[in-house]
Amino acid sequence: MKYISTILSVVALGLIAVLFFSQNRQLDQMKSHVEGEKKSAGTGFKIAYFDMDSLEAHYDGFKEAQAQVKTQENAMTQELSSLDRTNQKKIETWRQKQQTMTQAEGEQAQQEYQQMQQQFATRKQSLEQALYKSTEDLKTGIRKTIEDYLKDYNKQKNFSYIIQYDANSFIYTKDSVYNITTDLVDGLNAAYKKK
């Protein structure tokens, strides 16, 4: 009987030891699994950037958009200059006839002059608004083209973020390894030439 209680105590102690070691092994496995996930999450997080100034300087789509805006600006300037010259000729005609005009003709000239100024201002505002809308549409189109290209580009590269860098950005350090500007310019130009 004496031996039975000692044997039972030794068996119980052995079972406790086995349970203790198996629990520690499970805890160690869980801990190493969690640490492995943290390491893989940390190494899988990559941020790339592209230089917006370089993209604007080398992307053919930007160059064409800038040329379109410049053409529209020139057309607007020519139309306003032509309208101003026509108005100045009429004003000069009134100045030459000023001495021989009746009071009614002078009042009518004054009304016409005010209408001319109002029409010029209205046309100028209309042209400026059209130019602004056209410029914004071109910017939106280019931005959409870049975003679409970056979505396809990132399917292979798997960056967590791709950031646009320009002179006003708050990037304090940058590693040229993650600069994708050249890839972006080359890819966008190739896609642009296909169109």
Question: Is there a contact between 71 and 79 (Cβ–Cβ < 8 Å)?
Answer: no
Question: Is pTM beyond 0.85 here?
Answer: no
Q: Which residue has the higher pLDDT, 181 or 135?
A: 135
Do residues 107 and 155 touch, judged by C-beta distance below 8 A?
no
- The percentage of residues in the chain with a pLDDT greater than 90, rounded to a whole number, is 40
* Radius of gyration, alpha carbons of the chain: 38
Domain boundaries, the chain: 1-36, 47-194
For 46-81, the pLDDT digits (tens) are: 888 888 888 899 999 999 999 999 999 999 999 999
Joined together, the tokens standing for residue 61 give: 């789509």
